[in-house]
Amino acid sequence: MRPEPEKLVKEAVERARASGLRRTKALEDVLSILIDACQPLTLADIAESKDLDSGADKATVYRLLMKLEERSLIRRLGLHDRSAYYTMILPGEHSDYLICNDCGRIEKLDIACPVQVLEKQIAKKSGFKKLYHELEFFGQCPDCAEKVG
Amino acid sequence: MRPEPEKLVKEAVERARASGLRRTKALEDVLSILIDACQPLTLADIAESKDLDSGADKATVYRLLMKLEERSLIRRLGLHDRSAYYTMILPGEHSDYLICNDCGRIEKLDIACPVQVLEKQIAKKSGFKKLYHELEFFGQCPDCAEKVG
DNA sequence: ATACATGCAAACATTTTGCTTTGGC
DNA sequence: GCCAAAGCAAAATGTTTGCATGTAT
């Protein structure tokens, strides 16, 4: 486990407080669960966790996650809306993407992907079969930056 | 645009056929739309596309996507279930993941991420603000490989 | 005291399934 | 003609919101 998880939680709670959130049991629980997990969790994972001592409602956890995301304490993974995205697998073609978090525009990146080499190493080390990867860059595109400032 | 998209469609239809699917108008439409798009599309994108000449039902498109994914003609992006995943943003910490497509297990990768350098280049070139990236490796973990063979 | 946070339940959106009919092989 | 695929509609799942109440500040 990570060094001093309690300290990380404490700091995270402080950052949350500094950003305007109130110190509630639910907030502390959610941050603690996310930090202990060391990996991405779903709303259900958190809301049904035995470590959610406050027994907070799913809606409460949901609203906390929204607020924490707005304040950049946490991040929501993947293409950011609730639908599944599909893409062709074309022989000899690999794609990475550049996505605007504000307008959702997805742009294909024409780059030499530096991950291919790493992928081979990981395949060997982990013993995973049929290994492939996804690499996405997210941010705010120039158009959207102009609109909001 | 890509060289000879018609040819790519034709080949994709052939691969679909070879894998046991019947040549239907809906199949041709869906493959053609995905190939022309050059980027990931949602079920709705496809089912409501003006290029879906057959006017195929959403359920039909859905079932086609499932079949095409099983047969590895297309890929579904992101962590593969329908829920959103959240993760802590910790100062100075960046994480990449290794995920099993069969059992869904998510493992944190302790690697020096080779994308950081690239990220800076992309930030400069694209003009995107607040740039960050996600890198995930997917495959079949040893346990699952053993189970199915 | 006030405004933010919560709980519960209802509304939503998207995905997934059941069943009958159509059509590729 | 047979079985996969399509169409329509309903069920399932996960997310989001409304409103009355509780609570941190």
The residue to which tokens 């959403």 are assigned: B58
pLDDT greater at residue B147 or residue B139: B139
Q: Which residues of A touch B114 (CB under 8 A)?
A: 114-115, 117-118
Tell me the per-residue pLDDT of A66-97, one tens digit each, with 9 for 90 and over.
Answer: 999 999 999 999 987 889 999 999 998 999 99
Give the start-to-end residue ranges of the domains of chain B: 1-90, 94-148
CB neighbour list of residue A94: distance below 8 Å, 6 or more residues apart? A113, A116
pLDDT higher than threshold 70 for residue A124: yes
In words, the CATH class of domain B1-90 is mainly alpha
The residue that minimises its CA distance to C1' of C24 is B22
Residue B3 confidence (pLDDT)? 63
Q: How far is A23 from chain B (nearest CA, A)?
A: 18
Residue B31 confidence (pLDDT)? 98
Query: Are the C-beta atoms of residues B124 and A134 closer than 8 Å to each other?
Result: no
B7 touches strand C (CB under 7 A): no
The CATH number given to A94-148 is 3.30.1490.190
> Whole-angstrom Cα distance, residue A123 to residue B139?
9
User: Measuring from the CA of residue B64 to each C1', which nucleotide is nearest?
Assistant: D5
Per DSSP, the three-state class of B64 is: helix
Q: CA distances (Å), B37 to each of A43, A55, A88, B49, in order?
A: 32, 45, 9, 11
Binned at pLDDT 50, 70 and 90, residue B137 comes out as very high
Q: Cβ separation of B128 and A109 shorter than 8 Å?
A: no
pLDDT higher than threshold 90 for residue A148: no
Q: Which nucleotides of C are covered by protein (CB under 7 A)?
A: 4-10, 13-18, 23-25
Q: Cβ separation of B133 and A136 shorter than 8 Å?
A: yes
**Phi, psi at A113, each rounded to 5°:** -70, 125
- Strands A106-109 and A96-100, by their bridges, are antiparallel
Q: Cβ separation of A40 and B97 shorter than 8 Å?
A: yes
Query: Are the C-beta atoms of residues A131 and A122 closer than 8 Å to each other?
Result: yes
Question: To the nearest whole percent, how much of chain B has pLDDT over 70?
Answer: 97
Distance of CA B61 to the CA centre of its chain: 16
**Tokens at B11, concatenated:** 């080949």
Residue A2 confidence (pLDDT)? 64
A148 touches chain B (CB under 8 A): no
The beta-carbon neighbor of A142 closest among B88, B111, B127 is B127
Question: To the nearest whole percent, how much of chain A has pLDDT over 70?
Answer: 97
Element (H, E) at B65: helix B58-70
| Cross-sheet strand order for the sheet of A129-140 | A106-109, A96-100, A129-140, B129-140, B96-100, B106-109
Residue A1 confidence (pLDDT)? 58
The stretch B115-138 carries a mean pLDDT of 95
The stretch B122-147 carries a mean pLDDT of 94
Residue B4 confidence (pLDDT)? 81
Q: How far is the CA of B81 from the C1' of C14 (A)?
A: 12
Q: Terminal CA-to-CA distance of chain B, rounded, Å?
A: 40
Tell me the per-residue pLDDT of B28-42, one tens digit each, with 9 for 90 and over.
Answer: 999 999 999 999 999
Helices (H), chain A: 5-18, 25-37, 43-47, 58-70, 115-126, 142-148
